[in-house]
Amino acid sequence: MRAAGVTEFGGPEALHIVDVEAEPLGPGQVRLQVQAATVNPTDTYARSGVYAGRDPVKTPPWVPGMDVAGVVSEVGEGVDHLEVGDLAMGIVVPFGPYGGYREDKVLPGDSVVRAPKGVDAVAAATLPMNGLTARLSLNLMGLQRGQVLAVTGAAGSYGGYVIQLAKAEGLTVIADASEADEQLVRDLGADVVVRRGDDVADRIREHYPEGVDGLADGSVQDALVLPAVKDGGAVATVRGYKGDGSREDLRFFPTLVRKIAEDRAALDGLRQLVEDGAVTLRVAQTFPAEQAAEAHRMLEAGGVRGRLVLTF
């Protein structure tokens, strides 16, 4: 069956259509006829070989992709929350040829839930990975209603979901944005918007002189933005950053979405928030799977708002 993958790691041009074997279906698993697979920054790292050392599969092809949506075509024994014919969305923990950029995907049943009502496969595919990452970041920080959360990279998918989830939980949100993205970030629900940049910590402190209670660092500014956080505050990071030792008072929470890839309740909670209108799905552009290389080029060029999605 068709997949978009690489036989040699490299730039976007390394992506092409490859033939992969069908995955067997076991108990507790779900088979999706994939209609849409979202393109995320982590996929570009997988394509270029950044994760090759930890991939248990050492022979090509390698298929990226952590988000899929499509029609349930088969359910394994013990799966009772989905039926054949349901439009569903799922999170993929990719390795070897088993990433999400393939037209047929078997997943643990707890990694798949129904798509939100009224949402097509393309939009649904943009939710699982980034939405669960945002959910985990907030869970780890454990902020309470009324506390202040700063979000960097607020116009991105992760940042946008953090804002919306935080507002749904009664947090006050201060977020960064370029001038072009300011209205978007306000529309996502940020209470205060400051200009993005290397001095964003100073801009945040202008509004909260004692510092914020928590920080979700979606723009991966690491040490540059730590001064925005008050003593004892919480910091959620998305690339494994644990601090540079200069702020031992801070609590760091590297957010690894693989840890909740089978948290069906969390994924279904995101579905419900979409249906309730509290979470917004943003699609920037779609590409047929054959044009995966072009989607990667566009993502790496920067400036994409919303997600790029491959279609099968």
Residue 17, domain CATH = 3.90.180.10
In a domain, 34, yes or no: yes
Give the end of a domain, one of 257, 272, 295.
Answer: 257
Q: What is the DSSP letter of 153?
A: S
pLDDT of residue 208: 98
Task: Note down the domain range covering 18.
Answer: 2-127+281-311
Helix axis angle for 157-168 and 264-276, nearest 10°, is: 80
User: What is the secondary structure of 76-88 as a DSSP string?
Assistant: -TT--S--TT-EE
Whether residue 48 sits in one domain with residue 74: yes
Structure tokens at 163: 């804002």
pLDDT of residue 244: 85
Whether residue 115 sits in one domain with residue 90: yes
Whether residue 194 sits in one domain with residue 154: yes
Instruction: Specify the 3-state DSSP secondary structure of 96.
Output: coil
> What CATH number is associated with residue 227?
3.40.50.720
| Overall number of domains in the chain | 2
Instruction: Yes or no: say if 283 and 126 are a contact pair by the CB < 8 Å rule.
Output: yes
In a domain, 271, yes or no: no
Structure tokens at 207: 């509004």
Structure tokens at 281: 């799905």
Whether residue 156 sits in one domain with residue 232: yes
Compute and round to an integer the Cα radius of gyration of the chain.
19
Instruction: Yes or no: say if 30 and 74 are a contact pair by the CB < 8 Å rule.
Output: yes
Instruction: Yes or no: say if 112 and 34 are a contact pair by the CB < 8 Å rule.
Output: no
Whether residue 147 sits in one domain with residue 122: no
pLDDT of residue 138: 98
Whether residue 64 sits in one domain with residue 101: yes
Q: Are strands 212-217 and 148-152 parallel, antiparallel or unpaired?
A: parallel
Closest Cα to residue 221, out of 93, 204, 213?
Answer: 204
Whether residue 298 sits in one domain with residue 242: no
- Provide φ and ψ at 138, rounded to 5°: -70, -40
Model pTM? Answer: 0.96
pLDDT in tens, the chain (312 residues): 999 999 999 999 999 999 999 999 999 999 999 999 999 999 999 999 999 999 999 999 999 999 999 999 999 999 999 999 999 999 999 999 999 999 999 999 999 999 999 999 999 999 999 999 999 999 999 999 999 999 999 999 999 999 999 999 999 999 999 999 999 999 999 999 999 999 999 999 999 999 999 999 999 999 999 999 999 999 999 988 998 888 889 999 999 999 999 999 999 999 999 999 999 999 999 999 999 999 999 999 999 999 999 999
Q: What burial letters (b/e) apply to 89-104, b meaning 16+ CB within 10 Å?
A: bbbbbbebbbbbbbbb
C-alpha to C-alpha distances, 110 to 106, 148, 196, nearest whole angstrom: 12, 32, 37
In a domain, 268, yes or no: no
pLDDT of residue 114: 98
